[in-house]
Structure 1
Amino acid sequence: MATVKQLTKITDTADLKNLQKLYLKDWPSNCVGYFWLDNYLRWLQKNPSLGYLNFYTLDNDWQSDGLFILVHRYQLFFSNLSKQKTELELALKLLDWSKGFKVSAIHETHHYIYKDLVAEVNLQMDREMSTIMYSLTCEEAEKLEINCPEGYYLDKVRLEHADLINNLWSARHPGSLKLVEMLITYNTNVGLYEKESGLLCAWCLRLQSGFLGALEVIQSHQRRGFGLVVAAAISKAIATDLKQDITALVNMNNNAACRVFEKLDFKLIRGEHYNWSMIKPKAGGQISWPNNE
């Protein structure tokens, strides 16, 4: 009689660190899985009581194929090294999809697995977006020159600006304000401020997947190269502080963002396409972050 496979949690930090090391294979092909694990291991180090965070695998076997599913509240990421369907699809089927998920950084080789699952389980997809990937090595990022314009200064983004950032974020969704607040609190970020008024004019955050995100310049200060300034500054900060390569996902039709990264000598990683998607709760409505949590 065949043994029924089960979704099991990975709870030991040492196991998570060893799982992360598996994703160094064929760098940077598996960098997104590496950065997801790296991000949350750093978050847990800063806040050991970080809630609503679970790492899953199938039958406690993450060693053979690096299979893991990461769930943080309504956010979902999944990966395996072989990109094969059988075990990963089974693991995803065992998840509780009833409350919906925001599924992030779905690699193109995993996308067909995900789409098959959506159809088979009869999940309702709210929206989906496809992106391309740019990358800059740590060594190259450390050499970037930061040309802060006269009358402005660079500093970390402050929590008081979370509403502004969330409202202008193209990936905004129910619950994303709380996510923006956590990204500001825990991750590398850069803001460009006007010296005289203290106005936050441009910013860039690092997402949980390691990608640069929420790169924005307020409307009154556009077309002055400020996006280039903050993108360079955050790239150099990540390389200097974390000694990691820099990655960015750009919507395929966002020519302005593409130009920013190309001016900084980021390389377009051809064939590396990623998708993100929203799955609606089965009871209707939209996913959201619980209040005051």
Structure 2
Amino acid sequence: MPKRYFTVENDIIEQKNLKVELDGMTYFMVLSKKEALNFQVEPTVGFSLKSVSLEDAQVINDHWEWSEHGGLSYIQRQICYNTSVGLYKDEDNELVAWCIRAQDGLLAALQVKPSYKRRGFGVMIVKEYSRREAEQGRDIITEVVSENKASLNLFKKLGFSIKDQCYWLFTEAPNEDLL
């Protein structure tokens, strides 16, 4: 929910005696399609950029911090129906970095395998994804968890600007009899 609802939401949680299971804040960030169209991307020698293969859904799910029951099916649907970019090693077609457009339009599931970090692959993936989205006439939007300084810095470096703060809350009813 947007930050402007935070006070009301806290009042409801307190009044209803709800248990908060997850309470986190993200930055809602945007890059204009005009800016994204300026990105030029050349993959590192020995690597290729292409749409993520459905066969790689399990790899993505295995590395995804937010994966839970039903996560694989979610990832598979996003790959089938949305923009995605994967960086593949030419010699064995190993997927080493990726991002996928989520059903709500956000750049999501951005990941670089740990053994491939600090090589500029995250920047490469975001630029290529952003260019592809811009070619379809869309601004690029994402949310970044406030504690994830590396991702926040990456998006700022590429020209994304913070437009809002969003709060994510999951609650559990205090009594199972409640509907």
Partner of 1:276 in structure 2? Answer: 168
Change (3 A) 1:177 1:114: farther
Instruction: Give the letter for the 1:275 counterpart.
Output: Y
**1:115, 1:163 → 2: CA distance?**
37
**Secondary structure of the structure 2 residue equivalent to 1:147:** coil
Match of 2:98 in 1: 203
- Residue among 22, 37, 43 paired with 1:127: 22
SS class of match (1:209): coil
CA, structure 1 residues 174+255, in 2 after alignment: closer, same or farther (shift >3 Å)?
same
- Give the AA of the match of 1:278: F
Deviation of 1:112 after TM superposition, in Å, equals 2.9
Query: Identity rate of aligned residues, in percent?
Result: 32
1:192 correspondence with 2:87 = yes
Match of 1:157 among 29, 52, 56: 52
TM-score using structure 2 length: 0.88
Hey, what does 2:143 align to over in structure 1? 249
Report the number of matched residues.
176
Check if 1:172 corresponds to 2:67: yes
TM-superposed CA distance for 1:281, in Å, is 7.0
What secondary structure sits across from 2:39 in the alignment?
A: coil
Query: For residues 175 and 112 of structure 1, what CA distance do their matches in structure 2 show?
Result: 32
- Taking CA–CA contacts closer than 8 Å with sequence separation of 6 or more, which of the two structures ends up with the larger relative contact order? 2
Q: TM-score, normalised by structure 1?
A: 0.56
Alignment of 1:235 with 2:127, yes or no, is no
Give SS of 1:276's match. Answer: strand
Structure 1 segments unaligned to the other structure (5+ residues):
1-105, 285-293
Distance 1:117 1:163, change over 3 A: farther
RMSD of Structure 2 on Structure 1 (CA) = 2.0
Q: 2:13 & 2:75 partners in 1: Cα distance? A: 27
Give the 5 Å matches for 1:1-293.
106-241=1-136, 243-269=137-163, 272-280=164-172
C-alpha distance in 2 between matches for 1:193 and 1:107: 36
The match for 1:25 is none
Which runs of no fewer than 5 residues in structure 2 stay unpaired?
none
Matched AA of 1:254 = N
Change (3 A) 1:182 1:170: same
**Secondary structure at 2:127's aligned position in 1?**
helix
